[in-house]
Amino acid sequence: MELSRRGFVAQGAAIVSGAICNKPEAFSKPNIRKTVSRPLIISTWPFGEVANKKAMEVINSGGSSLDAVEKGINVTENDKENTSVGIGGLPNSEGVVQLDACIMHGPGHKAGSVMGIERIRNPISVARKIMEHTRHVQLVGKGAQEFALSQGFTKENILTEKSKRKWLKWKKNNQKKRPEGSIDNHDTIALLMLDEGGNLTGGCSTSGLAFKLPGRVGDSPIIGSGLYVDNEVGAAGATGVGENVLRHCCSFMIVEFMRQGLSPQDACIKAIKRAAKIDPLGMDLNIFFIAVDKKGRYGAAGTGKGFQYSVTTPKQSGILDSAALSDIDAGPVGGNEFNN
């Protein structure tokens, strides 16, 4: 999904699937979130719904919550049509696809992260291997690739013809400019899960900003920025312009606000407001978040309209509009909730 800088506006709020519908009357009650049946899975963007469903399927067939988060995110990574995650992701300014991902598991406060890995289509799985089979949290670039190969991953060409064409076009039109990454391509998947036992797990995977400088790493694989899980409190994940999420440690901040008692949605809103207040970019930060707490409440918010997220429980699955800072400044907070 490609959206313009000013903010994800054009993607209609009308896209609704499954059993969840947008309910304007819920907008006047931003602090009231119902708890839902578990497992509860939420993820960024409408395309996250198939990942959620895969995660639910994995749980239903006896898999662990880590299996569910990993296999769910693998669905997005394996989708060649998605140009910002996994295979088919848009490359850097040199035409090389460099992928970032991280995973966190509440019990044991475990984390694994991989940055700038090339020719491996499933970085979330590599991140999990780092978490489970090394003493480290992060591996980067060549070392990460070598580790992945040692764990049985295979190298392949992950630059699809479609992405290559987009890169060539970008290159032709931007010959004189210093490459800094296009913010028109940001559809990272962050997926959070509250399992039946009440434990939280999350993952995040991306090819990062399109046409970024080689070696650029965004927020997505950085624990506390693109993702944070605290098993006592809740979890948060991000999408949008990574540099702006990174500078404010947003996912960590959101979890801390939930610790102070805010609902997930209010915690997202407060984090955005705090970042926007001190940042010269203000409302142009272009950052979007999802969050879930230990009680099963969930929510999302972003600097602009148009950000949607997917929610799946054993009873329902669908796509919801997030609260938008532009609405918040104008009046009551937007939001949606399940009815079960």
| Residues with a known catalytic role | 188
Q: Kindly determine how many residues on this chain lie close enough to bind ligand SD4 according to the rule CB under 6 A.
A: 14
Residue placing its CB nearer to ligand SD4 in the complex, 91 or 240: 240
Taking CB under 6 A as the criterion, the residue among 239, 310, 312, 317 binding ligand SD4 is 239
310 binds ligand SD4 per the rule CB under 6 A: no
Name which of 20 and 190 has its Cβ closer to ligand SD4: 190
Write down the least CB distance from residue 214 to ligand SD4, Å. 14
Tell me the three state secondary structure of residue 201: strand
251 binds ligand SD4 (CB under 6 A): no
- Full DSSP string of 236-260: EEEEE-HHHHHTTTHHHHHHHHHHT
Measured from the CB atom, the residue of 163 and 231 that comes closer to ligand SD4 is 163
Whose tokens are 């966190």? That residue is 104
Q: Which residues pair with 101 in a beta bridge?
A: 114, 205
Amino acid at 9: V
Q: Measured from the CB atom, is 183 or 283 closer to ligand SD4?
A: 183
Output the CA–CA distances (angstroms, integers) from residue 117 to 50, 100, 163, 207, in the order listed.
25, 7, 17, 9
Length of the chain: 340
Side chain identity, residue 310: S
In 3-state terms, what secondary structure has residue 116? strand
What is the footprint of ligand SD4 within residues 217-236 (CB under 6 A)?
218-220
Per CB under 6 A, does 248 bind ligand SD4?
A: no
Query: Is residue 208 part of the contact set for ligand SD4 (CB under 6 A)?
Result: yes
Q: Among the candidate windows 111-119, 127-135, 184-192, 317-325, which touches ligand SD4 by CB under 6 A?
A: 184-192
Written as one letter, the residue type at 226 is: G
Q: How far is the CB of 283 from ligand SD4 (least distance, A)?
A: 18
Dihedral Cα 258, 264, 270, 273, nearest 10 deg: 140
* Chain residues that interact with ligand SD4, rule: CB under 6 A: 84, 186-188, 206, 208-209, 218-220, 239-242
